[in-house]
Amino acid sequence: MTQFTLLESPSWKDYALLDSGDGLKLERFGKYVFERPESQAMWKRALPESEWKNAHAVFQPTAEESGGHWIIKKKIPEKWEMTYPLTLTSSPFLSWRGELRFNVMTTPGRHLGVFPEVASHWDFVAGLVQKANRPVNVLNLFGYTGLATLAAAAAGAKVTHVDASKKSVNWARKNQELSGLSDRPIRWIVEDALKYVQRESRRGVKYDGIILDPPKFGRGPKGEVWEVYKSLPNLLEMCRECLSDNPLFVAVTVYAVRASAIHVAQAMDEMMKGFRGTIDSGELVTREQSAGRLLSQAVYARWECN
Ligand SMILES: C[S@@+](CC[C@H](N)C(=O)[O-])C[C@H]1O[C@@H](n2cnc3c(N)ncnc32)[C@H](O)[C@@H]1O
């Protein structure tokens, strides 16, 4: 049975959606405020112009998808640190401070190194790993700057993190250090996600939890083309072959504009046939501070064993 949810990430202190409207969003990342395009914000801004003028930087998009550049209006450091208070029932390691700590910075692709709306997945993954009370092997595909990887590792899992970009993997490794998780067993892999899973399947490697956060379009390190609608079914099928006999969870997030949560949930339902569990699916949303409206950022489906 599938349940549909609007999933918020309410634990953030270092991030806030301050306002949205007129095709834009105003956000705070740590001490700094940014204005970015948000085509779905088809209402009027609630905060006065003076608040929007306070932004430290504005992303100026070009016609082509995700192209553009940052206009810096006030001084910001090249990079700065943010934290996320991960929800864990108890601290599994003496060295663990209870929060993910990571670097953020403006990047050419309009992002800053964290997708704040997926934070509820980090809590979901960490909670299940902790509750399992057994050795847990997690695979994180399209892992970006590593925050889901670090959440699983902080809860006690052994994690394999895969991303096509060496730069992102290096950033993620730095975040591991900042978070005080350097001694946790994480394998960092720069590879095409599908190729990697195919190889793991041939080697008979099994995982108890799999996280997938694919972009709409992407490229592997050797130019392998990723196109979410075409590539996801095959990837999910290969992931199924890598699941252990008692999997704990699978979490898929899709940012592709036209993807509905219904479709992602149905793809997951097909993937998880034969395993006893439930699917929760819906939209990852952020509530703005100004007028309480919700911005839907992505759709997701999560399977968990029962
Ligand atoms: C930014 S994250 C995902 C966040 C969000 N879902 C989005 O759509 O932007 C996407 C990550 O996937 C990685 N990536 C893209 N194509 C890939 C591929 N074929 N194999 C592995 N990683 C890939 C990128 O390097 C990037 O770090």
Report pLDDT digits (tens) over 24-52.
999 999 999 999 999 999 999 999 999 99
Distance CA 137, CA 159 (A): 6
Whether the per-residue pLDDT at 126 is higher than 70: the answer is: yes
- Whose Cα sits closest to atom 9 in ligand 1? 215
Q: 89: pLDDT confidence band, cut at 50, 70 and 90?
A: confident
H or E segment and range at residue 285: strand 277-287
Q: List the structure tokens of 43.
A: 């209402």
pLDDT for the residue numbered 96: 74
Task: Identify the DSSP state of 286.
Answer: E
Judged by average pLDDT, the poorest of 61-65, 83-87, 233-237 is 61-65
Q: How confident is the model at residue 64 (pLDDT cuts 50, 70, 90)?
A: confident
Summarize the confidence of residues 100-128 as an average pLDDT: 96
Please report the domains of the chain, with CATH numbers, ordered by start residue: 2-10+79-305 (3.40.50.150)
Does residue 287 surpass a pLDDT of 70?
yes
Sheet holding 68-72, edge to edge: 15-21, 24-29, 32-37, 57-61, 68-72
* Residues in CB range of 6: below 8 A, 6 or more apart: 282, 283, 285, 294, 296
pLDDT at residue 220 in the model? 97
Say how far apart CA 16 and CA 22 lie, in whole Å. 18
Tens-place pLDDT, residues 147-163? 999 999 999 999 999 99
- Region 223-243 average pLDDT: 97
Above pLDDT 70, what percent of the chain?
97
| The predicted structure's pLDDT at residue 97 | 78
- Closest Cα to residue 82, out of 146, 26, 13? 13
Give the closest residue to 271 by CA, choosing from 290, 294, 252. 252
Taking residues 272-297, what's their average pLDDT?
A: 97
Summarised one tens digit per residue, pLDDT across range 187-212 is: 999 999 999 999 999 999 999 999 99
Model confidence at 20: pLDDT above 90: yes
Atom of ligand 1 nearest to the CA of 298: 6
Most informative mutation of 104, 110, 111, 142 for ligand 1 (most atoms within 8 A of CB): 142
pLDDT at 109: 87
- Examine the pLDDT at 226 and tell me if it is beyond 90: yes
Distance 220 CA to ligand 1 centre (A): 9
3-state per-residue secondary structure call for 132-172 = HCCCCEEEEECCCCCHHHHHHHHCCCEEEEEECCHHHHHHH
pLDDT tier at 93 (50, 70, 90 boundaries)?
low
In this structure, the number of other CB atoms found within 10 A of the CB of residue 275 comes to 15
Instruction: Compute the half-sphere exposure of residue 202: CA atoms within 13 Å on the CB side of its CA.
Output: 5
Q: How far apart are CA 263 and CA 228, in angstroms?
A: 12
pLDDT at 259 over 80: no
Is the pLDDT assigned to residue 272 strictly greater than 80? yes
Q: 39: which DSSP letter?
A: T
Average pLDDT across the chain, whole number: 95
The reported pLDDT for the residue numbered 208 is: 98
Q: What is the DSSP track for 225-245?
A: EEEHHHHHHHHHHHHHHTB-S
Which residue's CA is the closest to the ligand 1 atom numbered 12? 142
Q: What is the distance between the alpha carbons of residues 197 and 272, in angstroms, rounded to a whole number?
A: 17
Closest C-alpha among 116, 125, 118, 115 to residue 149: 125
- As a whole number of angstroms, the distance between CA 242 and CA 80 comes to 37
Q: What is the mean pLDDT of residues 241-254?
A: 98
The proportion of the chain whose per-residue pLDDT surpasses 90, expressed as a percent, equals: 90
SS3 state at 80:
strand
Indicate yes or no: pTM above 0.85: yes
Q: Is the pLDDT of residue 257 over 80?
A: no
- Residues in contact with ligand 1 by the CB-under-6-Å rule are 115, 142, 144, 162-165, 168, 192-193, 213, 215-216, 218-220, 224, 226, 253, 255
* pLDDT value for 90: 73
